[in-house]
């Protein structure tokens, strides 16, 4: 009985597919790109359990079970360090970034000089469009030992691009990240703010609420859904960093790795310098699996709090 029911459903499915064949055709190109660019490479992660042999290729390389992971954990230093850095910068960037994005959005929204606000916003967004390959030169102009503006203005002699400058890099990277992304990051929040019903403010005004009270009780609560969504989206990328920031802006200087190496820059270095692909794949798999779990967790959390903000 059940079999016939399923069969019927199936034939219905194929009839439906045929009826919508135009939609299948239209979805096909992007489907194929996703398949070959995103899905097939997933097979490459099996390398995490293999010892990569250039001549034998992906399938021909011998299995080594968990040896690569054992090595990663045994070589505590580097793996631990890059994981720590990845997490640390995620926390700093997300915290500082979210607060500033929201603050700038509210600030611009509250400003009565609308024309000026618009111009300032336009200027603020520009850095997001500059590649890290170019940003690197801008940062250099500030930090270089001889020609850098910081050393010249303060009459100091800091060597930022050497071991002696290690301690400054968390701050430097945060400042660069804030400089690059805040203007653009605030646009999304501004779009929410411009959607708030103005009668709410008017009512609050009549009730004698001052500006700060209005912001606290009207503006901020209305931003919470968007903040939740953006945080959720970012949690899934927790294990991924802005590779350009850590690879280009730091000029990939080995002496700075203690403060600047993240999993993504380690992987990139490994590919470019033909490092051990087995270990690298193990690190990648670790990165992907943890990322997946975090994303599922975050989505589940949001689903419980605000179902309509959940991603899936």
Partner 1 sequence: MQKTAVQQPPKKLSMHEHKKIGPGQIILLFLIMLFTIFCFAPVLLVFISAFTEETWINSNGFTFFPGTHWSMNGMNSVLRYGSQLLQSYLVTIGITVVGTFFGLLIMSMYAYSISRPGFRFARFLSVFVLIPMLFNGGQLSGYIVFTSWYGLKDSLLLLILPLCVTTMNVIILRTYIANSIPGELMEAATIDGAGDYRTFFQITLPLLKPSLAAVGFMMATAYWNDWQNAQLYITTNAKKPLQLLLINIQKSIEFLLNNNNVPASVRAAMGGTIPQYSSTMATVVVVIAPIMIVYPFFQKYFVKGLTVGSVKG
In the region spanning residues 188 to 207, those forming contacts with partner 1, defined by CB under 8 A, are 188, 190-192, 194-198, 201-202
Residue 215 burial by CB count (10 A; 0-12/13-18/19+): exposed, middle or buried?
Answer: middle
For residue 43, state whether it binds partner 1 (rule: CB under 8 A).
yes
* Nearest residue (CB) to partner 1, 1 versus 123: 123
Instruction: State how far the Cα of 312 lies from the Cα of 309, in Å rounded to an integer.
Output: 9
Q: Which stretch binds partner 1 (CB under 8 A): 68-76, 88-96, 164-172, 182-190?
A: 182-190
First to last CA, the chain: 34
Assess 66 for contact with partner 1 (CB under 8 A): no
CA distance 32 to 87: 34
Least CB distance from residue 74 to partner 1, whole Å? 20
**Taking the complex as a whole, how short is the minimal distance between the CB of residue 44 and partner 1, in angstroms?**
3
- Does the protein bind partner 1 through residue 64 (CB under 8 A)? no
Among 27, 74, 91, 203, binds partner 1 (CB under 8 A): 27
Q: Examine residue 107 and tell whether it contacts partner 1 (CB under 8 A).
A: yes
One symbol per residue from 209 to 248: x for binding partner 1 (CB under 8 A), - otherwise; what is it? --x-------------xx--x---x--x------xx---x
Is 162 a binding residue for partner 1 by CB under 8 A? The answer is no
37 binds partner 1 per the rule CB under 8 A = yes
Contact 309, 228 (CB under 8 A): yes
Task: Note every long-range contact of 83-91, with CB atoms under 8 Å and residues 24 or more positions apart, other chains counting.
Answer: 83/263, 85/259, 85/260, 85/261, 85/262, 86/238, 86/239, 86/241, 86/262, 86/263, 86/264, 87/238, 88/170, 89/170, 89/173, 89/174, 89/241, 89/246, 89/262, 90/234, 90/238, 90/241
Choosing from 91, 99, 134, 171, the residue that interacts with partner 1 (CB under 8 A) is 134
Binder of partner 1 out of 7, 17, 80, 216 (CB under 8 A): 17
């Amino acid at each position: 009985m059940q079999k016939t029911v399923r069969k019927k459903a199936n034939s219905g499915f194929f009839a439906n597919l045929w009826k919508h064949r135009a939609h299948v055709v239209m979805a096909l190109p992007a489907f194929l790109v996703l398949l070959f660019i995103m899905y097939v490479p997933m097979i490459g992660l099996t390398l995490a359990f293999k010892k990569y042999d250039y001549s034998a290729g992906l399938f021909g390389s011998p299995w080594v079970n968990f040896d690569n992971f054992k090595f990663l954990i045994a070589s505590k230093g580097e793996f631990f360090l890059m994981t720590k850095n990845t997490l640390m910068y995620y926390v700093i960037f997300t915290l500082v970034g979210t607060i500033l994005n929201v603050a700038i959005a509210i600030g611009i929204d509250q400003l009565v000089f609308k024309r000026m606000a618009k111009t300032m916003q336009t200027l603020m967004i520009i850095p997001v469009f500059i590649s890290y390959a170019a940003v690197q030169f801008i940062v250099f102009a500030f930090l270089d030992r001889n020609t850098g503006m910081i050393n010249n203005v303060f009459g100091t002699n800091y060597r930022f691009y050497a071991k002696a400058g290690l301690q400054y890099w968390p701050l430097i990277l945060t400042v660069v990240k804030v400089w690059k992304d805040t203007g653009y990051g605030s646009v999304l929040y501004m779009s929410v703010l411009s959607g708030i019903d103005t009668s709410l403010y008017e009512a609050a005004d009549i009730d004698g609420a001052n500006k700060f009270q209005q912001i606290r009780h009207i503006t901020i609560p209305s931003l919470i859904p968007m903040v939740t969504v953006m945080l959720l989206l970012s949690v899934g990328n927790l294990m991924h960093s802005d590779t350009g920031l850590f690879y280009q802006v730091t000029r990939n200087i080995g002496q700075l790795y203690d403060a600047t190496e993240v999993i993504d820059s380690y992987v990139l270095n490994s590919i470019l310098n033909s490092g051990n692909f087995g270990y690298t794949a193990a690190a990648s798999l670790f990165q992907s699996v943890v990322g997946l779990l975090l994303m599922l967790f975050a989505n589940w959390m949001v689903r419980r709090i605000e179902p309509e903000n959940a991603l899936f």
